[in-house]
Structures are given as structure tokens and as C-alpha cells.
Amino acid sequence: MPSQIKGPALFLAQFAGDEAPFNSLGGIAKWAASLGYKGVQIPTFDARLFDLDRAAESQGYCDEVKGICAEAGVEITELSTHLQGQLVAVNPAYDTAFDAFAPKEVHGKPKERQAWAVDQVKKAAVASRRLGLDHTVSFSGSLAFPYLYPWPQRPEGLIEEAFSELARRWVPIFDHYAEHGVDIGFELHPGEDLFDGATWEMFLDRAKEHKAAMINYDPSHFLLQQMDYLAFIDLYHDRINAFHVKDAEFNPDGRQGVYSGYQPWTQRAGRFRSLGDGQVDFAGIFSKLTQYGYDSWAVLEWECCIKSAEQGAAEGAPFIERHLIEPPLHAFDDFAGGERDDAQIRGMLGL
């Protein structure tokens, strides 16, 4: 049977809340299933939905989590460690802002915070194995991003050393993941040192092409950078282990463009949108991924500054469902062919 993308699935991070049904895994999973989702991507950083420390220690707890999701009618697609991964590498310029992603006891303590984050990301590998999952998704963190624009002029070797250090921090984590038969898909995202194909290649080279280093493909970030997100699949399809289905639009004018002049989201030239409301060519994306044999999940990550989360979630499942492609079992022109005849072939070639 040819490979087929699985879905629709939903990343739960943007929907978790303090009110039922969004404050428990069982409640939010049943809600997702009622909208037509068949899978859920679980944020390991939200204790209302998942206890990562417990999952890394207890097979019984992981079996309970799987049972809760199965009873609701959904599968677990991946565990997300986006916020912990961000803290594996933090430039001092972001220390105060990113402290919010960590427990209070490590606030203002960058080394302790990093150690906590590394431990968390490693625990996600163990938990994933206990849950029977092969893939996780995360962020890379950033050391060089404050120096993205080369003014003032960057000191020679600054970027190279930043990427070498990033690899030094992640390779031991990759080794741990490989030992457990799990990989990490980085969401290439502005604010991370890995935000496009060029930065991915810089990192992967320094990580010695580690097999556990993968990509969580999200076209919205590429559209906002004005990249060719379809050609990206041609280049890196063998490293794509996860897929965030997220829409965006880019409408530059005489006042602003890619950088958008510090404007609020509703006034930016580039904005994230609910599925179908933006400019991303999802028909092209689903075709490309199917062409290259991607057979994991299509996961809605909802972010929109105009439409409500409830409407976006309700519209997302049927949108993804419409774009799923069932690969053919036979070539469309098989009817016109026949058995191989070597004598005929040589005759047709004059041999």
C-alpha cells in the first residue's frame, strides 16, 4: 500500500485552558474528536494535560494517557517540547523573557535553566518510547538570532561559533534520542537559530548529519520570509518527520514589509491566519509530501489574529481532510501497457 499522510490532527497547546473541557487531556481530546480530529499533538509543557516527569518514569502512566486518548477517539501524534527546546540555547538578550518558560526556581539562573531544559527534552524521548511514538517536535533555541541583521558589522567567526555551540549542546541530546529510537523535528522558526534551509544546513553539518535531527515542516514561517516552501520540500523531504498545517499571508505595502515595523499582529504585513484564510498553497504541499512518501501526521497548529480559536479549530479538521491524498495503487496509464518483451524492445531500438 502506498504511503499516505495521516490526519487530521490538532496541536493542543493553543487550546488548553483553565475551563472544561480544555483543562484536562480527556476533556480536550474528546472535544478534538468531536470536531473530526483523529490525532492530537501533546504539549509536554502544560501540566494540565500531561506530566512529562511522570511519563518518563512510569509505563503505567503512559498506558493511562494512551487509554484516555483512545477512549476519546484520537491517537497521540507526537509530544511537543517547543518551550523546553527553546531554553537549550538562550542568548542573554532573551534571558528575562524566556524565564517564563521555566520553573520559578531557575529564573535568573541561565545555567540551571538550561540544565532543566536539557533534562526535560531528554525525558520526552523516554516518554515517547513508552507511548510507542517515533517522532517528537521542538525548537532549537538561539544564540545568534539577535545578530540576524549584519549591522553593526558582526565580528568574524561570531555566527560560526554560535552554530558550533548549538550543535555541541544538541548532539548529546540527539544521541539520547537515537538510543531510544526517537527523533526530534525542529520547527524552523524566526527567533530560533534554525529558521530556514540555510541555517538548517549550517547546523546539520556541525551535528555530523545526526540521524535524530529532523524537521517539523511549517510553511507559514517560510511564507512570511518569502521563501519557496514547495522547493524546500524537494530539498529536505528526507528530513521531514512532522508537519504543522498552518496558514499565513504576506501583504507588503509602501509602509512595511518582512520586518513590519514593530506593528501588532493585526497590522503586520505578514500575519498567521486560520486554514484557508491565508495564501499558503496547501494543495501543492500535500501533493509534494505525498510524492515523497511522507506518511506521518498533518497537524493543525492554529494561530490567527482575526478569527476565534473555536472557529479555526472547527474549520481546520475538514480543511485537512479535503487535502489528504490517497496514493494510487497502479499507474494511471497501466491499461495501455503490456508485459515486457525484450525482443520487441531491441527491435524498436534497431538493435
Condensed to tens digits (0 to 9), the pLDDT of residues 283-330 reads 999 999 999 999 999 999 999 999 999 999 999 999 999 999 998 776
What mean pLDDT, rounded, does the chain reach? 96
Question: From CA 128, how far away is CA 219, in angstroms rounded?
Answer: 25
Could you tell me if residue 69 is inside a domain? yes
Number of Cβ within a 10 Å radius of residue 289:
21
Closest residue by Cα to residue 217 from 123, 276, 296, 275: 296
Q: Which of 104, 108, 39 is nearest to 70 (CA)?
A: 39
| Under 8 Å between Cβ of 316 and 304 | no
* Torsion of Cα atoms, 28 then 29 then 35 then 41, to 10°: 100
CA–CA gap between residue 254 and residue 248 (Å, rounded): 20
107: closest CA among 90, 82, 128, 130? 90
Output phi, psi for 341, to 5 deg.
-130, 100
What CATH code is carried by the domain that includes residue 126? Answer: 3.20.20.150
Cell 531510544 locates to: 180
Residue 236, pLDDT > 80, answer yes
pLDDT at 1 over 60: no
Give domain status of residue 337, yes or no: yes
15 alpha-carbon distance from chain centroid: 17
Residue 45 has pLDDT above 90, yes or no: yes
Predicted pLDDT at 13: 98
pLDDT value for 331 = 64
Per the document, the length of the chain is 351
The string of DSSP letters for 270-296 reads EEEE-TTSS---HHHHHHHHHHTT--S
- Rounded (10°) angle between helices 110-131 and 59-72: 70
User: Per residue in 269-285, pLDDT tens?
Assistant: 999 999 999 999 999 99
- The residue written with cell numbers 524521548 in the block is 125
- Retrieve residue 197's grid coordinates: 534551509
**2 pLDDT more than 80:** no
Instruction: Flag whether 1 is in a domain.
Output: no
Q: What CA–CA distance (Å, rounded) separates 183 from 63?
A: 21
Residue 234 lies in a domain: yes
For residue 94, tell me if it sits in a domain.
yes
% of the chain with per-residue pLDDT over 70 = 97
Asked if residue 241 has pLDDT above 60, the reply is yes
Q: Would residue 299 count as lying in a domain?
A: yes
Distance CA 246, CA 240 (A): 16
CA pair distance 292, 5, nearest whole angstrom = 11
CA distance 177 to 190: 25
Please give the average per-residue pLDDT across 35-55, as a whole number: 98
Residue of 171, 244, 165 whose CA lies nearest to 213: 171
- Report yes or no on 37 lying in a domain: yes
> Tens digits of per-residue pLDDT, 168-184?
999 999 999 999 999 99
- How many separate domains does the chain show? 1
The DSSP element (H or E) to which 79 belongs, if any, is: strand 75-81
CA–CA dist 72, 10 (Å, integer) = 14
140: which 3 cell numbers? 532549537
pLDDT at residue 3, rounded to an integer: 65
Of 36, 130, 76, nearest to 296 by C-alpha is: 76
Q: Yes or no: say if 217 and 233 are a contact pair by the CB < 8 Å rule.
A: yes
Average pLDDT over residues 222-233: 98
Three-state SS for 242? strand
Mean pLDDT over residues 63-67, rounded? 98
Domain that holds residue 114: 6-348
Whether the CB-CB separation of 155 and 144 falls below 8 Å is answered with: no
149 CB-near residues (< 8 Å, 6+ apart)? none
Give the per-residue pLDDT at 328: 79
Residue 332 pLDDT > 70: no
Q: Are 188 and 200 in contact (CB under 8 A)?
A: yes
CA 75/CA 81 separation, integer angstroms? 18
Least confident of 120-129, 185-194, 338-347: 338-347
**Does 83 reside within a domain?**
yes
pLDDT tens digits, residue range 123-177? Answer: 999 999 999 999 999 999 999 999 999 999 999 999 999 999 999 999 999 999 9
